Structure 1
């Protein structure tokens, strides 16, 4: 694709796939069932009573679970999606990253329901320039049915791109995007702050890690939500985390490179002493020394004039890491539901 005309012609070839079946239709390997619902709820920490008992329903966000083929997969489901990806591979768009998914739930699923599903290539974008490279956003839509009745819709979007710096991409490579000597470092992305989590970020600005606590059942929860997923109560107050935690799980990020980040680095799922988990960076030890079960301590890192983030320090100096903020305070007793962020 060396000219504007070539690019337009290639985009037109891609868009010809819109509306074509991504794969042939499928049948869920198992009916909706209580054991799988239980496993899901335990993994997610979701104790909502609607998911247990004789009148139980499946958590709506389990929608895609009932379509998965497991390790053995689904046989005989070839479709246009593989052709489309091969066409993009041939044009140098060999890298892929999932960007987002959307789900709709017109009907609740219940144990015993047998699902069928089919998928279509819903849209292919025009050529897009991104930090990762130049490529195309591809959206597929899967419709899940029970007895012919639509039970849910799952849209999944990926970016299929030529990595920045490659011959097939017009984007800059990592070296080009790095700041020159004497220039300020790239600006870190800002967290999304909304009315449901503003109190959390206000606490972080004061070097306090605040956890929501339900005013009805006293269950702690994180991340912040507008209501309790255990009892449904909309009222809550906050407690300040002690800062003690352990690494519950972790990944080491190597790719993709992104301005203001310097891979490889460790991203951990930290289990706090208060019983909730938070995703954050693990610092204080080399990335390849992070281990599950490793004790860590809360610290606050300043990245620029207006961005402070909670991180977790491992290693011998973990106990001193809280010096970045005030001393932990005693946990307050449950109150009448407050939303003052502290």
Structure 2
């Protein structure tokens, strides 16, 4: 995270307290873990960036490059009244290879403390964005970021560490345009020795169901794969979205997929394994007969027999007592 300077000396007390408890933390002492986490939580609310400034104003060239990379031909992003794709929100705040000057010290202090506790590895886990108004070419971008939360110690397949969440507020010409939350895991890598499998099979991650995709999951429970259709221009879309990406109309209905499709692209997952899955396995982008694509699993054929162009047919896989998923069965040829 980048931004302007902070008050000299800010955070030294928290840094000293956390450093003092690093040994207890890494030794696995429960009281030490509690004290260490309390010191980490002292960073919550402190700035990670203050009065940061985008290196370039919102501009047509970057919008064009983004749309070409994403394959997004929405006419809203071209012409005299163009807006920037909302998902570009963070792109306007990035410092590029040379970075930003005046970086805030609090975020670096926090990461240094975690490094000192043995959490020397880092992986980005997720991001969330909220859009409040469209960005237009010529807008000047400024931003502020804050360390929003630091989790208690968590053990993952990668190793043991802490999740750190930052929130960035992005302004265009002084007006709040959107919010970007970014979460990382700072962790101590797990040992290379194999660990025994748990006696019971863990559950798969649950899908995030919200008002925008509730209808899709309602269809899955009825063994129907539903595709959204814009009632203004008849464009089909998947995944489900609150508005049409072709004409921006919010009006839609659904059509039921026939279930026929072909493998458009795929990868074979080997590592890192998640306890609920048994690698290696294939994850594919399937193109339905109706023309839309979705990410899914391929069943019925070994992972090394999946190929681009493989015909597949929809089926519903009962994963556990509370979860059923649409997958696609291929026939080895």
Q: TM-score range by the shorter chain?
A: 0.7 to 0.9
Q: Which residue of 2 aligns with 1:74?
A: 99
Partner of residue 198, structure 2: 177
Distance 1:228 1:148 in 2: 30
Is contact 1:119-1:142 (8 Å) kept?
yes
Give me the whole-angstrom Cα distance separating, in 2, the residues matched to 1:73 and 1:245. Answer: 44
Q: Tell me: CA distance 1:297–1:115, structure 2 relative to 1, closer, same or farther (3 Å).
A: same
Say which of 242, 252, 259 aligns to 1:235.
252
Match of 2:119 among 84, 93, 101: 93
In the superposition, the TM-score normalised over structure 2's length comes to 0.74
Q: Distance in 2 between matches of 1:312 and 1:32?
A: 42
Partner residue of 1:297 out of 294, 312, 315: 312
Q: Which residue of structure 1 lines up, in the alignment, with residue 16 of structure 2?
A: none
Q: Is it true that 1:261 corresponds to 2:282 in the alignment?
A: no
Please name the residue that 1:11 is paired with.
Answer: 37
Aligned to 1:33: 59
- d(CA) in 1 for partners of 2:205 and 2:324? 12
Distance between the aligned counterparts of 1:298 and 1:57, measured in 2? 39
Query: Match for residue 333 of structure 1?
Result: none
Aligned-residue Cα RMSD (Å) equals 3.5
On the 8 A contact 1:32/1:109 being kept in 2, the answer is yes
Secondary structure in 2 aligned to 1:175?
coil
> Which runs of no fewer than 5 residues in structure 2 stay unpaired?
1-24
1:1-342 equivalences under 5 Å are 1=25, 2-22=28-48, 26-41=52-67, 44=70, 48-70=74-96, 72-74=97-99, 76=101, 78=103, 79-128=105-154, 134-162=160-188, 174-179=195-200, 185-194=201-210, 196-231=212-247, 232-248=249-265, 250=267, 252=269, 254-255=271-272, 257-284=273-300, 287=303, 293-300=308-315, 301-305=317-321, 307-314=323-330, 316-317=332-333
Q: Is the 8 A contact 1:139 1:157 kept in 2?
A: yes
Q: By how many angstroms is 1:272 displaced?
A: 2.8
Distance (Å, rounded) in 1 between the aligned partners of 2:294 and 2:177: 32
> Please, what TM-score do these two structures have when normalized by structure 1?
0.72
SS in 1 for 2:148: strand
Q: State the secondary structure of the residue aligned to 1:12.
A: helix
Rounded to whole Å, the distance in 1 between the matches of 2:240 and 2:128 is 20
CA drift of 1:22 comes to 2.9
